[in-house]
């Protein structure tokens, strides 16, 4: 079989299935929490885990549906049959890996894991070098000019160059106060900007009856979490907030 045919018959030579690269360190992290516990996470971070997990499941589900509709394998170790540019691939070249990262973060925060957060930068480094970069070299060789045009049009998005803001707010009956839970993750200088507008200025503040907030830094990225109970100018009676920017 010619070399090009052998290349086309197999997918990229990645180091391991991506779900395993996330699940393995996540489990190791929780084992280390039992054996070598670190200081507990601030309680204000825990509520951020729920919207992150919901967003992750939605994004991973969207990825799977898009790949199935395109008739190309979901497993990156298999050879793709087409260059998918629809669905979440219109916004990022790696929606599945963003989804797995958000799921890792969400479940870690919900469970109060500490070592799993410490291990996350190493996980992202392994995914980038051992999966994403190898995939992109393979796809460029497989699809040529079409893939190079796609590279120029759609960015490689990660928690280090994208900003995700999530939040929910509801009015307390018979008052002008709201209960708001919000969080964001992204580049340090931009993560607070994607929080709901009516929470701006309250990160680290004490303007309300309850104003509990915290930040978590992972290399050049930052996560924020905010719980506010009290009057919040501009907050509607009920609000669900979701912003993704890059």
Given 102, 128, 153, which residue is the final one in a domain?
153
At 1, the pLDDT band (50, 70, 90 cuts) reads very low
Residues 215 and 148 in one domain: no
The verdict on residue 11 lying in a domain is yes
The verdict on residue 71 lying in a domain is yes
Specify the DSSP class assigned to residue 129: I
The verdict on residue 168 lying in a domain is yes
d(CA 12, CA 77): 6
Question: Quick check: helix, strand or coil at residue 186?
Answer: strand
Residues 16 and 120 in one domain: yes
Given 153, 179, 214, which residue is the final one in a domain?
153
At 3, the pLDDT band (50, 70, 90 cuts) reads very low
How many Cα atoms are found within 13 Å in the side-chain-facing hemisphere of 7? Answer: 11
Query: What is the spatial order of strands in the sheet that 238-245 belongs to?
Result: 210-218, 221-230, 178-187, 163-171, 238-245
The verdict on residue 227 lying in a domain is yes
Q: pLDDT, tens digit, for every residue of 34-63?
A: 999 888 877 767 777 888 888 889 999 999
At 131, the pLDDT band (50, 70, 90 cuts) reads very high
* pTM beyond 0.75: no
Number of domains observed in the structure of the chain:
2
Given 120, 153, 186, which residue is the final one in a domain?
153
The verdict on residue 65 lying in a domain is yes
User: Would you give the end-to-end CA distance of the chain in angstroms?
Assistant: 44
The verdict on residue 127 lying in a domain is yes
The verdict on residue 76 lying in a domain is yes
Residues 27 and 143 in one domain: yes
Q: What token pair was written down for 200?
A: 């701006």
Residues 147 and 174 in one domain: no
More confident site: 30 or 6? 30
- Alpha helix stretches (DSSP H) within the chain: 3-9, 18-35, 49-70, 95-111, 115-127, 133-143, 145-153
Position 119 pLDDT exceeds 80: yes
**Which residue's structure tokens are 């929470």?**
199
Q: pLDDT, tens digit, for every residue of 142-199?
A: 999 999 999 888 876 655 556 777 778 889 888 888 888 887 777 667 777 888 888 8
When the pLDDT of each residue in the chain is averaged and rounded to a whole number, the result is 82
What's the pLDDT at 73? 93
Residues 126 and 21 in one domain: yes
Q: What percent of the chain has pLDDT over 90?
A: 35
Residues 175 and 78 in one domain: no
What's the pLDDT at 192? 79
Whole-Å CA distances, 16 to 53, 127, 131: 23, 9, 8
The verdict on residue 158 lying in a domain is no
Domain span including residue 28? 3-153
Residues 203 and 233 in one domain: yes
Those residues with Cβ within 8 angstroms of residue 124's Cβ, 6 or more apart along the chain or in another chain: 101, 158, 159, 160
What's the pLDDT at 137? 94
Residues 209 and 117 in one domain: no
- Name the residue among 158, 44, 161, 50 with its Cα closest to residue 100: 158
Q: pLDDT, tens digit, for every residue of 10-24?
A: 789 999 999 999 999
Q: What token pair was written down for 60?
A: 């991973």
Q: What token pair was written down for 108?
A: 């870690």
Residues 63 and 116 in one domain: yes
More confident site: 138 or 55? 138
8 A C-beta contact, residue 162 and residue 244 = yes
Residues 89 and 120 in one domain: yes
CATH assignment of the domain containing 15: 1.20.120
Residues 87 and 111 in one domain: yes
Residues 76 and 18 in one domain: yes
């Amino acid at each position: 079989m010619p070399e090009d045919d052998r290349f086309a018959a197999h997918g990229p030579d990645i180091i391991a299935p991506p779900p395993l690269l996330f699940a393995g360190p996540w489990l190791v992290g929780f084992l280390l929490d039992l054996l070598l516990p670190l200081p507990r996470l601030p309680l204000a971070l825990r509520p951020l885990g729920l919207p992150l997990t919901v967003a992750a499941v939605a994004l991973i589900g969207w990825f799977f549906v898009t790949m199935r509709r395109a008739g190309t394998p979901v497993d990156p170790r298999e050879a793709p049959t087409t260059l998918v540019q629809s669905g979440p691939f219109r916004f990022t070249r790696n929606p599945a890996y963003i989804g797995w990262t958000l799921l890792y973060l969400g479940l870690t925060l919900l469970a109060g894991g500490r070592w799993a957060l410490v291990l996350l930068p190493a996980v992202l480094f392994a995914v980038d070098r051992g999966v994403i970069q190898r995939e992109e070299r393979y796809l460029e060789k497989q699809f040529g000019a079409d893939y190079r045009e796609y590279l120029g049009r759609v960015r490689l998005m990660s928690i280090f160059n994208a900003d995700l803001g999530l939040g929910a707010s509801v009015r307390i009956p018979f008052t002008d106060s709201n209960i708001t839970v919000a969080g964001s993750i992204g580049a340090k200088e931009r993560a607070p900007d994607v929080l709901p507008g009516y929470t701006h200025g309250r990160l680290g503040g004490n303007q309300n009856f309850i104003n509990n907030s915290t930040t978590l830094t992972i290399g050049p990225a930052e996560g924020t979490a905010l719980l506010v109970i009290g009057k919040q100018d501009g907050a509607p009676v009920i609000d669900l907030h979701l912003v993704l920017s890059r």
